[in-house]
């Protein structure tokens, strides 16, 4: 890895510590490793197919050796492929030639011509990318997103009943609670995470134009679509039967849109936290040794939220470009998608930086109870709403306008109570309004935070069921699951290459 100080992109430079885990899944080396996995598994698939008689069966030791080549893929192996690419000027052909090198001089030397049999480069690459992106989400991005949501949900529960002034159009409005406002974000995020998890990761495997032309020329009576479907599903993906040379990327657009929506909620969250800190509703726990300003010693800046805001904007901008461009491919294919796909790691990297920055900021948030109490204590005008509403309930004419006119003269406790007593309301309604304060006029805000817990439990149950179904589907004929062994988890590295 280049010294982070020399990196062109901050994703691999300044923020390398945040994004290092993505390198195992979305780097160039990861792409080469996954391509090797696909090539190896296709050779194993063909060798086990009775309808392809010219390729002999592989022994258990040979299959284990082949899979070890993929599982033990190193930086030195990646460099060798790049050396070959200098001559081929074709990245996937370089992977094929690398495997032919590895097979030479072994018991598998007689099957080298079957490496990459019937394949176009996109048969290999689209499956490699689908698995890379799936693993990057499952193992890195989703856990980081869930950590942020859990932190905010915990804060919501801790402060479920702490009243604060609500604001609409930036102006003081109906009171709410700190917990309820935080719970809104956690609830919105949970929904988008379900959308991310629910996207089907598609794969194609149909040759140069997606019609199995070369396959049929060699073996016209073989059920190639069935073999392709079995192979793609064995890799833990969903088979796409109708494609051109490339998989159409529509599933990836769906995924990027789901991540964009999560990002949008994140942008809204960090913006609101910044404003609450400005308003004094929240404050940040100081960190020993941290400097907020090079000249103003008192400063504790919301830098984590500002950093998250910047990175989420970069992530969503890239994702928007990719989602708009990737589905477009001239005729049966052009090469433009190849360069674009390589930018997905950068887009997800910026989102990951934003997630971790927002989490770091959220962990330092502390409500300023004295500030919120002081603000509400002098805001008796916020009770204009319940007064006019109870007037409407009891049929008093022009309740809204009468209270609006009253508020024009300024509102304090004494004046408001005098108004309430002058209205001639039923005794029960009058007493309820007289007992109400800005701090107690919070409706069901605290109780609604409990709905977050119920929604989370329901979402987790649904998510668990989805993950189990996907794992069972992939494990039925997984190349990494020996016959007779129990199905492996979708998140087990042994089943995902």
Query: Where in the sequence numbering do the catalytic residues fall?
Result: 169, 293
104 exposed, middle or buried (CB, 10 Å; 0-12, 13-18, 19+)? Answer: exposed
C-beta separation of 122 from 337 below 8 A: no
Give, in degrees to the nearest 5, the angle at Cα 354 between 144 and 268.
Answer: 105
Count of CB atoms within 10 A of residue 200's CB? Answer: 14
| Whole-angstrom distance, CA of residue 235 vs CA of residue 255 | 19
Contact indicator for 96, 180 with CB cutoff of 8 Å: no
Burial code (b: 16+ CB inside 10 Å, e: under 16) for 463-481 equals beeeeeebbebbbeebbbb
55 C-beta neighbours (distance < 10 Å), count: 16
* Cα–Cα distance measured from residue 240 to residue 203, given in angstroms and rounded to the nearest whole number: 6
Strand pairing report for 238-239 and 163-168: unpaired
Query: 186: left (phi > 0), else alpha (psi -120 to 50), else beta?
Result: alpha
Rounded distance between C-alpha atoms, residue 410 and residue 98, angstroms:
81
Task: At 155, list the tokens.
Answer: 């804060």
For residues 270 and 264, the answer to whether their CB atoms sit within 8 Å is: no
CA distances from 395 to 38, 382, 388, 421, 423 (A): 74, 22, 11, 16, 11
Q: Which uninterrupted H or E stretch holds 346?
A: helix 344-362
The single residue listed with the structure tokens 């598998």 is 108
Using CA atoms, how far apart are residues 205 and 123, in angstroms rounded to an integer?
A: 5
CA distance to 23, 24, 310, 346, 355, per residue, from 134 (Å)? 14, 12, 25, 15, 18
């Amino acid at each position: 890895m280049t010294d982070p100080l020399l990196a062109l992109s901050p994703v691999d430079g300044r923020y390398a510590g945040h994004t290092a885990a993505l390198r195992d899944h979305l780097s160039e080396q990861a792409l080469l490793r996954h391509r090797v996995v696909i090539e190896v598994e296709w050779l194993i698939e063909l060798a086990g197919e009775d309808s392809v008689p010219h390729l002999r069966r592989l022994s258990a030791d040979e299959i284990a050796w082949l899979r070890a080549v993929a599982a033990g893929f190193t930086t030195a192996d990646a460099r060798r492929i790049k050396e070959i690419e200098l001559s081929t000027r074709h990245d996937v052909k370089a992977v094929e030639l690398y495997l032919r090198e590895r097979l030479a001089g072994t018991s598998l030397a007689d099957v080298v011509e079957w490496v990459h049999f019937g394949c176009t480069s996109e048969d290999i690459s689209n499956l490699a990318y689908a698995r890379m992106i799936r693993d990057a989400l499952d193992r890195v991005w989703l856990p980081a997103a869930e950590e942020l949501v859990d932190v905010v949900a915990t804060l919501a529960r801790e402060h479920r009943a702490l009243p604060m002034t609500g604001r609409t159009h930036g102006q003081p409005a109906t009171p709410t609670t700190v917990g309820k406002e935080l719970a809104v974000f956690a609830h919105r995020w949970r929904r988008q995470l379900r959308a991310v998890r629910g996207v089907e990761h598609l794969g194609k495997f149909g040759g140069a134009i997606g019609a199995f032309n070369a396959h049929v020329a060699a073996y016209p009576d073989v059920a190639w679509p069935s073999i392709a479907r079995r192979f793609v599903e064995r890799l833990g993906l969903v088979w796409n039967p109708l494609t051109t040379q490339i998989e159409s990327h529509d599933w990836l657009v769906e995924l990027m849109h789901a991540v964009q929506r999560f990002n949008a909620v994140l942008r809204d969250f960090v913006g609101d936290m910044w404003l609450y800190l400005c308003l004094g509703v929240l404050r940040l726990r100081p960190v020993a040794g941290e400097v907020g300003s090079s000249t103003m010693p008192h400063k504790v800046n919301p830098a984590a939220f500002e950093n998250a805001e910047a990175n989420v904007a970069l992530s969503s901008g890239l994702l928007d470009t990719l989602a708009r461009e990737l589905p477009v491919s001239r005729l049966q294919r052009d090469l433009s998608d190849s360069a674009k796909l390589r930018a997905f790691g950068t887009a997800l990297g910026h989102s990951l930086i934003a997630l971790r920055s927002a989490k770091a900021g959220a962990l330092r948030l502390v409500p300023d109870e004295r500030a919120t109490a002081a603000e509400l204590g002098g805001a008796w005008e916020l009770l204009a709403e319940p007064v006019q509403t109870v007037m409407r309930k009891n049929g008093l004419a022009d309740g809204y306008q009468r209270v609006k006119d009253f508020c024009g003269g300024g509102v304090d406790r004494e004046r408001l109570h005098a108004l309430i007593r002058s209205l001639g309301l039923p005794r029960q309604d009058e007493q309820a309004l007289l007992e109400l304060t800005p701090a107690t006029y919070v409706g069901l805000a605290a109780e609604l935070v409990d709905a977050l817990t119920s929604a989370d439990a329901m979402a987790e149950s649904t998510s668990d069921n989805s993950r189990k179904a996907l794992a069972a589907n992939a494990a039925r004929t997984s190349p990494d699951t020996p016959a007779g062994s129990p199905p492996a988890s979708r998140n087990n590295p042994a089943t995902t290459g």
